[in-house]
């Protein structure tokens, strides 16, 4: 189980330079083995929440626990060693490293051809076309995104976090990925935490967590939370008109 206890994270505002609470006393428990979608308005703190769990950000106050162990002050590397994987919204590139090497490094062992093909097929890419390619600027944003998702899945980590996996991906690939997450959840004991605005992803979650203004604004089944999301959207439109 992942537990966030009264977590506050402060950072400088990009426009004013003044510090503000990105996460504001947020408490949240995530049961092991669940498929969780974290959603909410832009700038509400979703990505910061994910990065706090991963150890990329250290909370200003509060604590983060993994199966009862306090991991608040551990480095991102130590979080990874404890079994937390992370897929970035904008994946890093590694010039000189092939896709084959990236997947094997992620898995912590040399993967067989069959295993490599399986992970690539999960994200809708042909292994024959990609395994020997370098993870560099020759790959499009959508290709890079799918390869990174495959690399996170290859870790088989107990906890996997994906920050807006749909970003930059075409519609066909998006539908393929939603099925990949659903099927992976059905056969795996891993906890999936996905940051997303997409109703198709939200609708297949075990539970949806709504984060706004750095606070936990709601949680429940997709059927319970989707009306609240619509309410946020309606209010945003009203504010824009005003």
pLDDT, one tens digit per residue, over 28-84 is 999 999 999 999 888 899 999 999 999 999 999 999 999 999 999 999 999 999 999
Q: What is the pLDDT of residues 145-159, one digit of tens each?
A: 899 999 999 999 999
- pLDDT for position 46: 93
- pLDDT for position 91: 82
pTM: 0.87
Residues contacting 63, CB < 8 A, separation 6+? 4, 5, 6, 7, 70, 72
Q: Which candidate, 106, 107, 98, 152, places its Cα nearest to that of 127? A: 98
Question: Is residue 15 scored above 80 in pLDDT?
Answer: no
Rounded to whole angstroms, the Cα distance separating 204 from 150 reads 20
- pLDDT for position 75: 95
The strand pair at 35-39 and 19-30 is best described as unpaired
Average pLDDT over residues 86-91: 86
Question: Is residue 120 scored above 80 in pLDDT?
Answer: yes
Question: Is residue 134 scored above 50 in pLDDT?
Answer: yes
Percentage, residues of the chain above pLDDT 90: 63
Rounded to whole angstroms, the Cα distance separating 21 from 121 reads 41
The H-assigned helical ranges of 43-170 are 46-54, 76-81, 99-107, 113-122, 127-130, 141-155
Rounded to whole angstroms, the Cα distance separating 24 from 21 reads 6
**Phi first, then psi: what are they for 18, rounded to 5°?**
-85, 145
Q: Of all helices (H) and strands (E), which one includes residue 222?
A: helix 222-241
Q: How confident is the model at residue 6 (pLDDT cuts 50, 70, 90)?
A: very high
pLDDT averaged over every residue in the chain: 89
- pLDDT for position 238: 42
- pLDDT for position 234: 54
Q: How confident is the model at residue 240 (pLDDT cuts 50, 70, 90)?
A: very low
Question: Is residue 161 scored above 80 in pLDDT?
Answer: yes
Place of tokens 């606070």: 215
Q: How confident is the model at residue 241 (pLDDT cuts 50, 70, 90)?
A: very low
Residue 234 CB: number of other CB atoms within 10 A?
10
Task: Express the helix, strand and coil content of the chain in percent, nearest 5 each.
Answer: 40, 30, 35
C-alpha dihedral, 5 to 32 to 168 to 220, nearest 10°: -70
Sign of CA dihedral 178, 218, 48, 158: negative
Cα 155 from chain centre: 14
Residues contacting 232, CB < 8 A, separation 6+? 40, 41, 210, 212
- pLDDT for position 242: 35
- pLDDT for position 193: 97
**Could you give the maximum distance between any two Cα atoms of the chain, in Å?**
58
Average pLDDT over residues 186-200: 92
Average pLDDT over residues 193-201: 92
């Amino acid at each position: 189980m992942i537990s966030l206890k009264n977590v506050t994270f402060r950072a400088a505002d990009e426009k004013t330079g003044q510090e503000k609470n990105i996460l504001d006393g947020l408490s949240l428990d995530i049961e092991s083995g669940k498929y969780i979608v974290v959603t909410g308005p832009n700038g509400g703190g979703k990505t910061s929440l994910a990065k706090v769990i991963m150890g990329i950000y250290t909370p200003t106050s509060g604590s983060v626990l993994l199966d009862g162990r306090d991991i608040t002050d551990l480095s991102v590397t130590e979080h990874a060693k404890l079994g937390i994987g992370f897929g970035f919204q904008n994946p890093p590139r590694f010039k000189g490293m092939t896709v084959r090497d990236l997947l094997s490094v992620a898995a912590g062992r040399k993967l067989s051809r069959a295993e490599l093909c399986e992970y690539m097929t999960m994200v809708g890419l042909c292994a024959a076309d990609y395994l020997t390619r370098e993870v560099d600027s020759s790959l499009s944003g959508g290709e890079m995104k799918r390869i990174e998702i495959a690399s996170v899945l290859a870790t088989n980590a107990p906890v996997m976090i994906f920050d807006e996996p749909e970003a930059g991906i075409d519609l066909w690939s998006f539908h393929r990925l939603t099925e990949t997450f659903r099927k992976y959840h059905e056969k795996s004991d891993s906890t999936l935490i996905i940051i997303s605005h997409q109703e198709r992803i939200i609708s297949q979650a075990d539970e949806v967590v709504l984060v706004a203004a750095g606070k936990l604004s709601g949680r429940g089944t997709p059927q319970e939370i989707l009306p609240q999301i619509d309410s946020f959207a309606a209010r945003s439109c009203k504010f824009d008109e005003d």
